Amino acid sequence: MRTFLAAFAVLVAIASGCAPGENGASPAREVDTALMRIGADAHADAAPAARESARPRALRELPDFTELVERYGDAVVNVDVVGRTESSGARGDDALRDFFRRFGVPEPEGGAQGGAPLTRGMGSGFIVTHDGYILTNAHVVGDAEEITVRLTDRREFPAKLVGADRRTDVAVIKIDAADLPVVSIGDPANLKTGEWVLAIGSPFGLDNTATAGIVSATSRSVGGGSPVPFIQTDVAVNPGNSGGPLFNLDGEVVGINSMIFSQSGGYMGISFAVPIDEAMQVRDQLVKTGKVVRGRIGVGVQDVDAALARSFQLDKPRGALVSFVEPGSPAQKAGVKPGDVVLGVNGKEVEQSADLSNTIAGIRPGSDAKLSLWRAGKARDLDVKVAELKEPEQSASTRERGKPGRSTEEDTRLGIAVRQITPEEKQAVDTDGSVVVEEVQGGAARAGLQPGDIILAVNDQEVNSIQDLRRAADKLGKGDSAALLVERGGARLYVPVRAG
- CATH 2.30.42.10 occupies which residues in the chain? 295-388, 409-498
CATH fit for domain 68-289, picks 1.10.287.10, 1.10.10.10, 2.40.10.120, 4.10.490.10: 2.40.10.120
**Better-scored residue on pLDDT, 255 or 462:** 255
- Classify domain 295-388 at the CATH class level: mainly beta
Q: Which of 14-18, 27-31, 123-127, 489-493 has the highest mean pLDDT?
A: 123-127
* SS3 assignment for 193-251: CCCEEEEEECHHHCCCEEEEEEEEEEEECCCCCCCCCEEEECCCCCCCCCCCEEECCCC
Does the CA dihedral 456-459-461-467 come out positive or negative? negative
The predicted-structure confidence for 441-472, as pLDDT tens digits, reads as follows: 777 777 788 888 899 888 878 888 888 888 88
- Provide the strand spans (E) within 16-129: 76-84, 107-108, 118-127
- CATH 2.40.10.120 occupies which residues in the chain? 68-289
| Residue 468 CB partners (closer than 8 Å, separation 6+) | 435, 461, 462
Spatial distance between the Cα atoms of 11 and 255, rounded to a whole number of angstroms: 66
**Better-scored residue on pLDDT, 277 or 447:** 277
Alpha helices (H) along 301-422: 306-311, 330-334, 353-361
Q: Which of 80, 143, 169, 453 is catalytic?
A: 169
The predicted-structure confidence for 337-369, as pLDDT tens digits, reads as follows: 999 999 999 999 999 888 898 889 889 899 999
Mean pLDDT score, 287-316: 90
- Residue 52 pLDDT greater than 90, yes or no: no
- Residue 109 pLDDT greater than 50, yes or no: no
CB 82 within 8 A of CB 107: no
Confidence of residue 147 (pLDDT cuts 50, 70, 90): very high
- Residue 476 pLDDT greater than 70, yes or no: yes
| Share of residues in the chain with pLDDT > 70 (%) | 74
What's the confidence (pLDDT) of residue 12? 36
Confidence of residue 405 (pLDDT cuts 50, 70, 90): very low
Q: Tell me the fold of 409-498.
A: Pdz3 Domain (2.30.42)
Burial string for 60-99 (b: 16+ CB within 10 Å, else e) reads eeeeebeebbeebbbbbbbbbbebbbeeeeeeeeeeeeee
Confidence of residue 30 (pLDDT cuts 50, 70, 90): low
| 169 classed as catalytic | yes
Nearest to 122 by CA among 112, 136, 101: 136
Spatial distance between the Cα atoms of 126 and 132, rounded to a whole number of angstroms: 10
Q: What is the mean pLDDT of the chain?
A: 79
Specify which residues 185 forms β-bridges with: 253
- Residue 323 pLDDT greater than 70, yes or no: yes
Q: What pTM was estimated for this model as a whole?
A: 0.62
Mean pLDDT score, 132-157: 93
Q: Which of 80, 139, 202, 323 is catalytic?
A: 139
Q: Which of 124, 242, 311, 481 is catalytic?
A: 242
What's the confidence (pLDDT) of residue 304? 92
Mean pLDDT score, 310-318: 91
Nearest to 301 by CA among 354, 245, 251: 354
3-state secondary structure of 167: coil
The predicted-structure confidence for 382-403, as pLDDT tens digits, reads as follows: 999 999 987 543 332 323 333 4
| 242 classed as catalytic | yes
The predicted-structure confidence for 197-224, as pLDDT tens digits, reads as follows: 999 999 988 989 999 999 999 988 776 5
